[in-house]
Amino acid sequence: MSKSSGLAMTTLSVQDAAATARDIKNDITNFQFSTPRAVQDITGVDKSAKETLLLLADFSVTLNGVFNPTTNQSHTVFSTVPTTTVPRQTIITFGTSPAATMTATCNFTDYQISRGNDGALTWTAPGVLQNGTAPAWT
């Protein structure tokens, strides 16, 4: 059987502002990404059901984690989001053999830090497709 869970992920790396990939999977508690396609409605008046064309591909990701100021970990990667305008390659790999890897170059648009009433210090970092290259599974 080749089915995989999301347990013990192989890779979840994001480039820092210097374009160095940093493996920050240990800081990430959960995440989600999506790969939607735009759709154009091309339904003629002669149809009784909708016709569409697939258009541009897109990608978005939201990473959530625990604050870690250690060098080259999540805070180092995302603390430069407010002051830099660099694209960051994001790589997410599930499984080992076989593995499925999603790669996309993103603009991270925010680095939100939250301190809960229980004392938890967490962060959220949303990213969107940057370079016009469709995200790809390998």
pLDDT at 4 over 80: no
Alpha-carbon torsion (56, 58, 36, 96), positive or negative: positive
State pTM to two decimals. 0.90
Q: How far apart are CA 69 and CA 73, in angstroms?
A: 7
Q: pLDDT tens digits for 50-79?
A: 999 999 999 999 999 999 999 999 999 999
Q: pLDDT > 70: what percent of the chain?
A: 97
Q: Which two tokens stand for residue 91?
A: 């790589």
In angstroms, how far apart are the furthest CA atoms of the chain? 63
Ordered domains of the chain (ranges, CATH): 11-41+49-137 (2.30.110)
Q: What is the pLDDT of residues 83-105, one digit of tens each?
A: 999 999 999 998 777 889 999 99
Confidence (pLDDT) at 95? 79
